[in-house]
Amino acid sequence: MTTRLNSFALASVLLATGASMPVFASAGVRVCTFPGSPSTVLDEAVAREAFRTAGIALALAPGGFASSDDDGVSLKELDKALARKCDVIAGFPRSTVADGSDSKLTFSRAYLHSGYVSVTLHEPAAQTGGAEIVAATYASPAQLIAVQQPNVRLDLENTAELTVDAVATGHAQRAIVWYPAVVAYTKTHPERRFRIAQAASAYADWHLVFAFGKSGAAVQPRIDAALRKMESDGRLATLTRAWTLPRAAHAKVPDAAAVAAVAGFAYRDGPRHADTAWGITRAGGRELEQGGFIKVDATVSVDAPGFDRSQVAHGKTLYSSACAKCHGPDLQGLNAPALRGPSFAPAANAKLTIGGVYGYMATNMPADRPGKMKPQDYADIMAFLLYSNGYSAGGSKLTDDNARASSRPLNAGTSQ
């Protein structure tokens, strides 16, 4: 749980002195849910009970978000909704390795442990050979998990419901999907039976919480207290029982920091040992080359490859169109890791090399079009990443060849 000290301090004073809470609209605290979320029924039910238990008037605001598209809700839309139409968002998904919310929001304790699972039909048809077709929801953690699966062809769908439906109708043999979407699908298609298994990835593990904007932050301690009470008396378990991950999907997921620190393993999108064969193919059937990261050799001292300012500018444009939807507009991480700061380029003792990061990116990214950008475009994006992490632009141009060949540890640069 992440909370802001000033919110706790304010709430503590109010509770200790008996002062009244901030005055909300007469209808109560405005609670929104995400448009199109498969867990909306659950989120609203938990919100009603939690706010009732806390003694706080509640007003559900289903139209809190002005629009919804296939790429989900942007940070701009989130901020706008919390500034104008919502005090609290129910059903906010949080992950320890891919949380791009920064510190602008205050969060409750979790009311549901959920995540991404591997879904097949209860009695799947026998595979006839060749790559397995795996469905995943576009621009979501499911896509990042699926792209790491061995010997697969990806079937990218626009919504979680369509991702489940791809398995139900036989268009895909398996799906990586947000578990509440499976629950919602079976409620409207009770004749369908699915087999649920663990999706082994650091990105599979998520929790649902309440997210409080500036106007609603003061009620966060009272909602936390209500959730604790509901948990202790069994009401929370009753509300969430149908949405709880089945035991088969509760296997321990790998720790992201440990994955990144081990030689020969891929970076945080999910574990893959270096001798694992990949079967992701480009259009035309040509197999992608392996793209694991390189362990840093601390005895090697080499200069960082050069790049120029025009590459930084072009790389920033490319990043905005191809990478920001997962890694965040400011490289802060959303449903993919941050690409700036100590978790990516620490000040010292880096465990990744520039060439290793570049090779992985050029082979496996963007997740919806792995390896399909021009080599020079990948090099320009790498120039932007280096510049954003403190490396200085110069007069030479970064190329695909010298980016791949760099054994320089990816420590943060010292100037921009």
84-128 residue pLDDT tens: 889 999 999 988 765 554 557 889 999 999 999 999 997 766 556
Neighbours of 133 (CB within 10 A): 18
Residue 176 falls inside a structural domain: yes
How many structural domains is the chain composed of?
3
pLDDT at 254 over 80: no
Domain that holds residue 184: 114-203
Considering the domain architecture, whether residues 102 and 142 belong to the same structural domain is answered as: no
Considering the domain architecture, whether residues 354 and 281 belong to the same structural domain is answered as: yes
Residue 298 falls inside a structural domain: yes
Tell me how far CA of residue 242 lies from CA of 95, 182, 239, in angstroms: 21, 11, 8
Lowest mean pLDDT among 177-186, 329-338, 353-362: 329-338
Residue 150 falls inside a structural domain: yes
C-alpha span between 205 and 199 (Å, rounded) = 9
Residue 415 falls inside a structural domain: no
C-alpha span between 355 and 118 (Å, rounded) = 32
Q: What is the pTM of this model?
A: 0.62
pLDDT at 251 over 70: no
pLDDT at 266 over 50: no
Q: Do the Cβ atoms of 35 and 45 come closer than 8 Å?
A: no
Residue 251 falls inside a structural domain: no
Helix axes 375-388, 354-364, angle to 10 degrees: 130
Q: What is the pLDDT averaged over residues 50-71?
A: 78
pLDDT at position 299 is 43
Q: What is the pLDDT of residues 93-104, one digit of tens each?
A: 988 765 554 557
C-alpha span between 251 and 396 (Å, rounded) = 49
pLDDT at position 362 is 87
CATH number for 186: 3.40.190.10
pLDDT at 268 over 70: no
